[in-house]
Structure 1
Amino acid sequence: MYQPITRVFDLLDESITKYNKSDVFASKIKGEWQRISAKSFIESVNQLSLGLLKIGIEKGDKIAIISESRPEWNIVDFAVQQVGAVGVPLYPNITVEDYRYIFNDAGIKLIFVGDESLLRKAQEAAKDAPTVQEIYCFDKVLGGKNWQEIVVNIDNKDILVLENIKKTVKTNDLLTLIYTSGTTGNPKGVMLSHQNIISNFEACKNCFPIDETCRALSFLPLNHVYERMVLYLYMSLGTSIYYAQNMATIAEDLRDVQPHIFTTVPRLLEKVYDKIVAKGYELSGIKRRIFLWALNLGLNYDPNKTFGWWYNTQLKWAKKLVFNKWQEALGGNIRMICSGAAALQPRLARVFWAAGIPVSEGYGMTEASPVIATNRIKPLDLRIGTVGPIIDGTTVQIAEDGEILVKGPNIMLGYYNLPELTKEAIDQDGWLHTGDIGKLEEGKYLKITDRKKEIFKTSGGKYVAPQVLENKMKESLYIEQMMVVGESQKFPAALIVPEFTTIRDWCKSQGINYTSDVEMIKNQQVLKLIFGEIARFNKEFAPYEQVKKFTLLSTPWTVEGGEVTPTLKPKRKMINLKYKETIERMYE
């Protein structure tokens, strides 16, 4: 029987050793899956822990990890924990300026990076960060120090030293500093304790229909607290963790690994769905009609409803003729897909459920370690269009203005070096102010409706929730990114980045010569297409909420460009500034 733990690294003894698997972790190297056994993983962690001690790392020291997901990330994570140091995981794709700020703000002492490009970025940022003593690289890089240089061979005496140091680490000690990218200003370091993270994965464990016989595919960045917490949860259940090679190889990796579970962001599911639909429309004759019939059945599905004999019979045939291919594309074993970080379009949840692929949408934030609410698969306890019931041990209260307030053992210790901001976020009664607006449907299922600070008022005095509009209109196959504007203006307008792949396919079907993205956003027929999509969704909103004008953009918003956060949320202030003249022209 699994015993509750008090420090995250207790997972090594209570779960990794217990299940003793030959594939605790696996990654593909030079075309072959390399698996790491329980014994090998624990040995590597202990060797690095002792190596850290020998180079002078002490309890409370801050150690940064900048790397794509790979087993070395996890080895460093646990090695750092065992000596009482504090892990500071950072996104591989943020700027040198962000690294420089965080190195100084956290007082980073040691840095581990994945490859040569990250080594060079870290070296550049560390020039102005005097606390940084050394940078070690997982890959062997000419002129760079390799992390194996500090790994040491161990004997029984060394293990005794390590065990004594581990005893000094308490459940409420600082485990990690996670810098939230934020949509405005400098990143903030969220302080999470061992207890914060443990309480979260213990509360979520029963929501995951997996066990020690299962495999998980991981491709979201490990520095994101959700993926990291979920990996600890997998370990506690004995589930093997396989890392995708990169985002471009996910389809191949799904076929290879045949996972039972994976976590994702809605945009990936949208892209999977869009590709499937695009291929369906390429069919002709009876095959096309069968595909569209199955798709229509799926789009009307609800796992909570009984549709009767006729619908169920049709769905059975739809699965046999169409949806089974969807399952095969995901490896054939999926028990659950966890979706988070942004709103999941209800139509996607419906059609995947109809295809026999359960999708669970959840909600949280870094400051809550991170899960606050999640839909359940087994036993079934969900409502499509909501983020599900509140997790055990956590309490939610809806403030008078609609803001979601949260209290529980998962709430952060505070923001690092920012006591005033901490007081703003957590009130004197211990409630975390999420900044999200929501409500409890049926008194139980949390529904997010908008971000408190992103709601704006038109010149007519009407409040508009831009996120609601954006999430709805991005259901269009032809809209990739969108930001609604209109603060103090007569009406809402929008900046739109089209989904150029589907636009290209549409142009081909219409006999339109596709030249370039820059030219096509000016094409009258393309503009008419997008106008029709906007008009279609506008019908679902009040007149004062409807998007009256829009401008198409040829360049997608990226993290590198500064328009979106690493979790792909729009930086509204930055986008407003960058496209100031474009926005003003829509209101001339």
Structure 2
Amino acid sequence: MARAARDEQFDQAVIDDRAPSVGHLFRDRVAKSAGEVAFQYPDGDQWASLTWAQTADRAYALAAGLVDLGVEPEERVALASSTRLEWVLSDLAVMCVGAATTTIYPTTLAGDVAYIVADSGSRVVIAEDDAQVAKLLSRKEELGDLLAIVVIDGEGDGDRVLTFAELEERGRARLEQEPELIDQRIDGLTPDHLATIIYTSGTTGRPKGVRLPHSAWTYEAASVDAIKILGSDDLQYLWLPLAHVFGKVLLVLPLQIGFPTAVDGRVDKIVDNLAVVKPTFMGAAPRIFEKAYGKITTMIAEEGGVKAKLFDWAFGVGGQAADARAAEKPVGGLLGLQHTLADKLVLSKIRERFGGRIRFFISGSAALNQDVARWFDSAGLLILEGYGLTETSAASFVNRPVEGSYQFGSVGWPLPGTEVRIADDGEILLRGPGVTTGYHKLDDVTRESLDEDNWFHTGDIGELDDNGFLRITDRKKDLFKTSGGKYVAPSAIESMFKGICPYASQLVIEGDGRNFVSALITLDPDAIQGWAEHRGMTGRSYAEIVGSPEAREMVQGYVDELNTKLNRWEQVKQFIILDHDLSIEEGDLTPSMKLKRRVVTAKYKDQLDTLYGG
């Protein structure tokens, strides 16, 4: 029996005694762990590392460089880069200097980059390479009162564009004159000082800048520390975009807890890096787990024969053992013997693909399919789903890695200090130290989202069970009603399909005001190539493969399976397979890979209309 959330044991003193700011938190960690490894990072074909003392040395130099450029407390410094060591050092420098980080995805288009820089009032932009600098210079009239651009991989111009090394050198020269400069800046920080403005990707309209003070981040770190799911002997692998709130919170946790972090944002290197780094935990979006699940299961299925039968048997046994663990029952007797054999022959080899030391994964930013989560758990790889928003500094809810303290399909219990309420219409309301102080320069929007009692209206629909576990139904604005008057929650159906069909990339449910539900479907380019090779389609283009009768028949089978799990009015009656995948570049997805539902359904309206006789 799962324990009620109110009975959870946690260390309230850790939360009450938290540091005044992220700068204080970082300085305290350096004092406690100076000689221990803080960050690992790729250096050519090898991995290098920095101790906490070495990290502070570089971060302080960069911070002093920002001061030398004229950056004042609470002024903004924008970071336009992928996840890498320099992003980490830059953000720490901004936190120590008392400025505020504005995050920008490297995939963001030039117009939106200029808008974010200008709207945030950023005084400096730290850009990853010449391509990011070119975006800025192409819109330089729109950038506002910008002091400088700093390029990490690229050349300066001796004027307005500095190199990362030049910024660090300027800082070191400044520190020689004023060695206490950065400590004095940290000493002046308070919990209410602005730390970050993160612009929500925005599935419609311009992105909104979410203002988060230092107290939000120190609360997040302290509350996770208080529930004791991580320790100083853990090792994090961090690849998530640090422009996203999920990645950002995972960067604050090691400052509080003291574990080292391996940093590399190259998505195509995740599997290779896991084998080398051998982390104990990793955060990821559901798509990463879906792709891994799809790749492994389809590869085994295509091989067939004895190997496929052994694989299926082992995962069946692993699933029974996982169910026993979840019910807090011993895995003994015949099941214990079978599980030992299954683990030796198959399951341990799956774990080795992920480094062999994973204690758990953390999934966030979108709904995780239960079937995918159970498949990983059968292999001994627990995925803890969590929930939060940019406006709540990422984590508001998370499952715990203890039997009876997690439930698949739920996002777990609230972090200590976070309050939750379900409104009459099912909307999830949150209140606590992690909640935003408001949207940047958007007072009217702030009042719409934050009521007078400081409850944040999330826009998500959900329910709490008797044991305190929260389940998310859908986005409030995404719910639609068919012409028959029945409500449909599209996100839940889309997530379900990705767990059923290992070749799926995207499923977009349509049916608002229609007499039945239809869908746009795209197939994963990597997975479908392997499928095609086993059917004599080697060398054919993606469009030819997905447009083939064989692909149509395959997808129809998975749609039929999906429909057996749905109410009659939710079932997908017709669908279109697009001849290309959805992408950020084409405006179908946000930079954080969230579906722009209204944009996509509007773009393909003519094709969808044909399904309804239009």
Question: Does TM-score exceed 0.5, indicating one fold?
Answer: yes
- Give a deviation string over 1:154-195, Cα, whole Å, max 9, x none: 557613343333232211111110000111110000000000
Equivalent residue number for residue 432 of structure 2: 408
Q: Secondary structure at the match of 2:225?
A: helix
**Does 2:118 align with 1:104?**
yes
In 2, the alpha carbon distance for the partners of 1:202 and 1:240 equals 17
In 2, the alpha carbon distance for the partners of 1:552 and 1:122 equals 37
Equivalent residue number for residue 420 of structure 1: 444
**Does 2:243 align with 1:219?**
no
**Does 2:496 align with 1:472?**
yes
Single out whichever of 36-45 and 480-489 deviates more from structure 2.
36-45
Equivalent residue number for residue 488 of structure 1: 513
Residue 330 (structure 1) shift: 1.0
Q: Is the 8 A contact 2:293 2:502 kept in 1?
A: no
In 2, the alpha carbon distance for the partners of 1:160 and 1:517 equals 59
**Does 2:316 align with 1:296?**
yes
- Report the AA paired with residue 30 of structure 1: G
- Give a deviation string over 1:453-503, Cα, whole Å, max 9, x none: 001111111111111111111221122101101111111110000234433
Q: Which has the higher contact order (CA 8 A, sep 6+)?
A: 2
Q: Is the 8 A contact 2:326 2:403 kept in 1?
A: no
Q: Is the 8 A contact 2:413 2:468 kept in 1?
A: yes
Residue 250 (structure 1) shift: 1.1
**Does 2:80 align with 1:63?**
no
Matches within 5 A, 1:4-153: 4-141=18-155, 143=157, 144-151=161-168, 152-153=171-172
Q: Secondary structure at the match of 2:296?
A: helix
In 2, the alpha carbon distance for the partners of 1:441 and 1:156 equals 59
In 2, the alpha carbon distance for the partners of 1:123 and 1:207 equals 46
Matches within 5 A, 1:315-326: 315-326=339-350
In 2, the alpha carbon distance for the partners of 1:298 and 1:385 equals 19
Equivalent residue number for residue 561 of structure 1: 586
In 1, the alpha carbon distance for the partners of 2:304 and 2:375 equals 22
Within the candidate set 270, 286, 299, 2:290 is matched to 270
In 1, the alpha carbon distance for the partners of 2:526 and 2:95 equals 45
Equivalent residue number for residue 527 of structure 1: 552
Matches within 5 A, 1:200-215: 200-207=220-227, 209-215=229-235
Moved over 4 A (4+): 154-157, 510-514
CA distance 1:507–1:69, shift in 2 (3 Å): closer
In 2, the alpha carbon distance for the partners of 1:469 and 1:378 equals 29
Q: Is the 8 A contact 1:486 1:492 kept in 2?
A: yes
CA distance 1:213–1:401, shift in 2 (3 Å): same
- Report the AA paired with residue 190 of structure 1: V
**Does 2:254 align with 1:234?**
yes
Matches within 5 A, 1:298-313: 298-299=318-319, 301-302=322-323, 303-305=325-327, 306=329, 309-313=333-337
**Does 2:370 align with 1:350?**
no
- Give a deviation string over 1:273-310, Cα, whole Å, max 9, x none: 22221232244543332111112334554341237633
**Does 2:550 align with 1:536?**
no
* TM-score normalised by structure 2 residue count: 0.92
Count residues in correspondence. Answer: 588
In 2, the alpha carbon distance for the partners of 1:421 and 1:381 equals 36
Q: Is the 8 A contact 1:190 1:415 kept in 2?
A: yes
Residue 257 (structure 1) shift: 0.8
- Give a deviation string over 1:183-215, Cα, whole Å, max 9, x none: 111000000000011111211224564333332
CA distance 1:140–1:528, shift in 2 (3 Å): closer
In 2, the alpha carbon distance for the partners of 1:454 and 1:325 equals 40
Single out whichever of 64-73 and 201-210 deviates more from structure 2.
201-210
Q: Is the 8 A contact 1:50 1:158 kept in 2?
A: no
Q: Secondary structure at the match of 1:280?
A: helix
Equivalent residue number for residue 479 of structure 2: 455
In 2, the alpha carbon distance for the partners of 1:103 and 1:298 equals 50
Q: Secondary structure at the match of 1:497?
A: strand
In 1, the alpha carbon distance for the partners of 2:214 and 2:175 equals 28
- Aligned alpha-carbon RMSD (Å): 2.0
Q: Secondary structure at the match of 2:137?
A: helix
Q: Is the 8 A contact 2:428 2:462 kept in 1?
A: yes
- Give a deviation string over 1:203-250, Cα, whole Å, max 9, x none: 122456433333211100111112111221123211111112611111
Q: Is the 8 A contact 2:504 2:521 kept in 1?
A: yes
In 1, the alpha carbon distance for the partners of 2:72 and 2:194 equals 13
In 1, the alpha carbon distance for the partners of 2:555 and 2:372 equals 21
In 2, the alpha carbon distance for the partners of 1:200 and 1:371 equals 7
- Report the AA paired with residue 330 of structure 1: F
